Structure 1
Amino acid sequence: MKLTTHIFLDLLGVGELLENITTVVKDRLGLNPRRDCRQLAGKTAIVTGGNAGVGLATADALLRSGANVVLACRSAERGQSAAKQLAASTGCVGDSGSTVLAASDVDPPAAPRVMVELLDLASLASVRQFVQRWAASGRQLDLLVCNAGIMCPPERVETADGFELQFQSNYLSHFLLANCLVKHQQSLRRQQQAQRRRRGRGGETDCGETTRPLRVIFLSSMTHFGADLATTLADVPQSRTGWHSFQSYCNSKLCTLLAAKQLDRLFVRNAQLAAHGAAGAEAPPPASTMMLQRDVAVAVHPGLVDTFLARNYFKQSVPRPLRPLSDPFFEHLFCPYLLRSPEAAAQTVLYAATAPAAEVGGQYCGTSPHVSKHSAAAGDPVLAEHLWELSAHLCQLGPSELLD
């Protein structure tokens, strides 16, 4: 890696930390208000990596808002432990085993429910298995939070699928998960509409029954400003040439942001087509109403958060001989006081989950929370489409499996 690139990435890290400290001060002073999430009551959410860190805090906040939550975790043991913790702290109903509710269990319980499902993002096969189980359940999905990820491992790791670990765990598997779940959601809606037509109600649109909007949230990062995809996209999935841990992390986070934007473009187009098609129906809903109720994809930067992932990253940034001195500093001072709490970070996720579609659709939401500026590369629709097509190829998605 060029020296200038090293310097830029270092300065980017300093800039992110300074921005984060400002956000922490606002968090502690109560200047970042908590979201009113009553609209999520009775909805169903999947949170990848929901057993720890920001994912666990997000699951906690969703349950307190009345939503049912599926913790999609790599470890069944850690997932069940998190579910018990959430059940104890929120009063929700915890399932004793894995997993997704059966198709016959269509009415949510009086109290929200927390469930656990196995999902290993380092395995595309695991993602497909998860989707198959979800599709078999017949459940409606309202919110997908693509939260889980890996941050700067000390050595390059290649998954069994042949991809660099951060690229697959942070981005590619989430791309496959979101694509397949949205595709299933569309199929489910068509089935519901067909059933309504058979009941002689085809001219009506009941948003509560057939058009409950889906929201997909990808966790990105301010570090996407340090990504380099324009010239190295072909090498990014494997990163065999000149691998650098932090550069690879930056690349993966730009990919998640580009995916959110591309997915939202597809959602907008489909909503416009649906509105145009409804124009010939008797008493069709206004096109503006359909756009307000449309599916939404959005990217979120929760900030530098006090989690095991962040603590481990900062500790490893110091030469090993100095760690006996630096570890206590990071453990007791730097991380607790200069990084955001997971609970505060979850509020940024909830902002993306509940703000109006016109406000956050296809946007990059920063820590405060609010819609923030992103890099020029993140706003490049040609790059986003190229990445989307490459990702479909890497996941071996056929034309009938890929969203369009």
Structure 2
Amino acid sequence: MESPFERQEHRRVMVTGTGGLGLEAAKTLAELGATIIIAGRDQAKGEAALNEIVSHAPSAHADFELVDLASLASIRAMVQRQLDDGEPLDVLINNAGIMSPPQRRLTVDGFEAQFGTNHLGHFALTLGLLPLLRKSAAARVVHVTSIAHKFGQLDFADLQNERNYKAGIAYCQSKLAVALFARELQRRAEASEWSLQSMAAHPGFATTNLFAAEQGARSFTTLFSTRVLAPLLGHSAQQGSQPIVFAAASPAASGGKLYGPTGFMEMKGLPGECTFARTAQDDETSARLWTESERLVGMSL
């Protein structure tokens, strides 16, 4: 069967996250010929990811970049290393994230951990890397959101969930913010006539370690999700990564769109175009979130 993806020789791709969806997407893109940069906060996990990529695609070129998306200082340091190197960046996949820590946590800079990592960390990273993305003749930024964005609401008076933290609600908010960012970056790229496309992707119900990372491997949520729901409704991390690869490497993908599984309730199936939640299509909200995010991270275009 002919691949729906274009070959990626001579394209540099940065993927945040050293496991799960990000690693699976990186393996596929390496197989397509891309030069891969895996970015994560754990050196040992990064090196293990590089070994797995090279094992999957022996001719792959892959490097690791140390960055903690919960630390603006770490993001600035990594961005500066990339800027000093000066090589164009063709694809940025904003994938890394955390899901539903039971207790409210803060990032190094005092943001609620899910909003701070899933959205603000990637917002700062993307703005910092824009000079290298704009060096590319056809850059793409892929923002990994979730079906959960459809249940999210943004409360600008309490973006950090200080008043009444509920883990699932905060997660949905963070993934709605990711979707809004994807659309707003596309709008600004078009207005500025940049050769850059910004799109979102979601994995459906993919079996990853997100639940176990925060809830614990033996928690009810983890066990119910992985042993009951996943076999019925979900698919593997490799299958869940395919909408991300589609957004990054398919000639059929275009800016401002959302890609995900096209099967039952977008839980699993072949990758294709999906529909953003109505809340993610509000241009006034996306513009306001952009302005507030600039203020919070201390960066702007």
Using structure 2 for the length normalisation, give the TM-score. Answer: 0.90
Pair 355,234 (structure 1): closer, same or farther in 2 beyond 3 Å: farther
Instruction: Give structure 1 regions of 4+ aligned residues with deviation exceeding 4 angstroms.
Output: 311-317, 329-334
- 1:241 alignment partner in structure 2: 163
Residue from 36, 44, 47 that aligns with 1:77:
44
2:241 maps to which residue? 346
Q: Matched residues in 1 for 2:119 and 2:180: separation?
A: 10
Change (3 A) 1:184 1:360: closer
Instruction: Give the corresponding residue for 2:250.
Output: 355
Could you tell me which runs of 5 or more consecutive residues in structure 2 were left unpaired when the two chains were aligned.
263-270
Measure the CA separation in 2 of the matches of 1:70 and 1:55: 11
Instruction: Return the alpha-carbon distance in structure 1 between the equivalents of residues 226 and 124 of structure 2.
Output: 36
Retained in 1: the 8 A contact 2:13–2:35?
yes
1:270, 1:388 → 2: CA distance?
16
Cα distance in 2 for partners of 1:82, 1:315 equals: 21
Partner letter of residue 156 of structure 2?
L
2:69 to 110, 113, 121: 121
Find the aligned partners of 1:35 and 1:248 in 2 and give their Cα distance: 37
Alignment correspondent of 1:48: 16
Distance across 2 between alignment mates of 1:317 and 1:246: 15
Counterpart Cα distance in 2 of 1:240 and 1:317? 25
Amino acid at match of 1:258: L
SS of the residue corresponding to residue 39 of structure 1 reads: coil
2:150 aligned with 1:228, yes or no? no
Per-residue deviation, 1:38: 3.5
Please state how far the C-alpha of 1:296 moved relative to its aligned partner.
0.2
Structure-2 separation of matches of 1:145 and 1:235: 28
Residue 186 (structure 2) pairs with residue 264 (structure 1): yes
Opposite residue 152 of structure 2, the aligned amino acid is A
In 2: Cα distance, 1:330 partner to 1:226 partner? 19
Q: Which amino acid is 2:15 matched to?
A: V
Matches within 5 A, 1:78-97: 78-92=45-59
Cα separation, partners in 2 of 1:226 and 1:45, compared to 1, 3 Å: same
Aligned equivalent of 2:276 = 374
Distance in 1 separating the partners of 2:225 and 2:177? 30
In 2, the alpha carbon distance for the partners of 1:316 and 1:225 equals 28
Change in CA separation of 1:113 and 1:336 when aligned onto 2, cut-off 3 Å: farther
d(CA) in 2 for partners of 1:332 and 1:79? 28
Which runs of structure 2 are paired with 1:127-206 in the superposition (5 Å)? 127-186=75-134, 189=135
Task: Structure 1: give runs of 5+ residues left out of the alignment.
Answer: 1-32, 93-111, 190-210, 275-293, 320-325
Q: Residue 388 of structure 1: CA displacement?
A: 0.3
Larger Rg: 1
Cα distance in 2, alignment partners of residues 37 and 364 from structure 1: 17
Structure 1 residues 356 and 84, CA, compared in 2 at 3 Å: closer, same or farther?
A: closer
**CA distance change for structure 1 residues 377 and 332 in 2, over 3 Å: closer, same or farther?**
closer
Q: For residues 308-356 of structure 1, what are the alpha-carbon distances to aligned partners after superposition, in whole Å with 9 as ceiling and x for unaligned?
A: 114555967638xxxxxx94x6555544564221111121111111234
Residue 138 of structure 2 corresponds to: 213
**How far apart in 2 are the matches of 1:310 and 1:338?**
16
Secondary structure of 1:115's counterpart equals strand
C-alpha distance in 2 between matches for 1:337 and 1:69:
33
| Identical columns (%) | 33
Give the CA RMSD over aligned residues: 2.2
Q: Which residue in the other structure is 2:32 paired with? A: 65
2:173 corresponds to which of 220, 230, 251: 251
Match of 2:235, SS state, is coil
Hey, what's the Cα distance between the residues in 1 that align with 2:227 and 2:75?
Answer: 37
Deviation digits for residues 55-76 of structure 1, max 9, x if unmatched?
A: 1100100110000100101100
Distance 2:104 2:227 in 1: 29
**Which whole-Å CA distance do the structure 1 matches of 2:226 and 2:250 have between them?**
35
Residue 37 (1) aligns with residue 5 (2): yes
Q: What's the offset of the Cα at 1:136?
A: 0.6
Whether the aligned pair in 2 keeps the contact of 1:311 and 1:335 (CA below 8 Å) is no
